[in-house]
Amino acid sequence: MSEDATPAARRARRGSGAVTLHEVARLAGVAPITASRALNTPSQVSAELVRRVTEAVASTGYVPNRVAGGLASARSRLVAAMVPTISGPVFLGTVRALNEALVAQGYQLMLGQSGYADSREDALLEAIISRRPDGIVLTGITHSPLGRRRLLASGIPVVETWDLTSTPIDMLVGFSHSDVGRAVVNFLWANGRRRLAMIGGDDERSMRRQQAFHTAAQAAGLPAVPVITVPAPTTLKSGRCALSELLLTSPDVDAVFCSSDLLALGVMTEARVRGVAVPGQLAVVGFGDLEFAADLDPALTTVRIDSMAIGRQAAQFIVDRAEGREVTSRVVDVGFSIVQRDST
């Protein structure tokens, strides 16, 4: 249980599995009907009562159930998922597998886009939790304290994906970004590369890969690793611009690890324009193993993530919990692999 959960939230989850309006009312020192009025028709109660109820809501993470009263106890057979972007291809496999697995079990998927900078996750969570889906699937493990409180208080099954921690909110399926960074350094070292650089997005998961990459290179006695950070979601254009910037300050680099295959494609495009031979002068490693990676010339070496397996396992977690089956292993590490091709 997260330290963000209040005692009230913890007591409620041990009973019904969700913080209720009665718990909010008890904490505020008012009757449940008064708490309901303060939330739904605040003009009918005093400002002081509204303040007390609002504070109780904030401390417990309670989100009102917007489903009609007659339906509130029924299963919705709806699962909500959030991804940072629906335009980038890296999460598409997970979304496709998640949807297919849920539909096969009689559930429907609702998809939301939280973004990277100025994330809308908290606003989306409030809207989603208020409709009481049978499960929520999130990308990553980094959430605001308010978001964590709301998720813990809701009692709704939650699956975090595309990341790894021993202390998930509820259930988790993903892999270690730090392990990825270290593995790519070892791979490049084994292939004779000694002057490494990294080009990565400014999102939290990419930054952890960058930090592990830098630390592993330092531990191996390699020169300081130059890092070019670009806005997420990353693009081919940002890859081209980043390589141009990198070569201005570090023209002798002989390997670049990119935080996405799209970035790597941009790096390879700019290298070709500049007459930098890949892999002769510059080895390039991507991340994601997108469909085009094997068809590039040279074919792109990349880190493969089984995104479909992430989606299938997340769906199974949700369905098992929604249908009352016990989930014994709540953390699944799908791992990763480095697919060596001609770019290295």
pLDDT band, residue 117 (cuts 50/70/90): low
Residue 70 exposure: Cα atoms within 13 Å on the Cβ side: 0
pLDDT band, residue 118 (cuts 50/70/90): low
Distance CA 67, CA 22 (A): 17
The C-alpha angle with vertex 93 and arms to 112 and 210, in degrees rounded to 5, equals 85
Per DSSP, which regions of 205-261 are E strands? Answer: 227-230, 255-258
Cβ 50 vs Cβ 38: under 8 Å: yes
Domains along the chain with CATH numbers: 20-60 (1.10.260), 76-174+307-334 (3.40.50.2300), 177-304 (3.40.50.2300)
pLDDT band, residue 1 (cuts 50/70/90): very low
Average pLDDT, the chain: 89
Q: How far is CA 29 from the centre of its chain?
A: 38
* Lowest-pLDDT range of 83-97, 138-152, 237-251, 267-281: 83-97
What average pLDDT score do residues 179-192 get?
98
The answer to whether residue 234 scores a pLDDT higher than 70 is yes
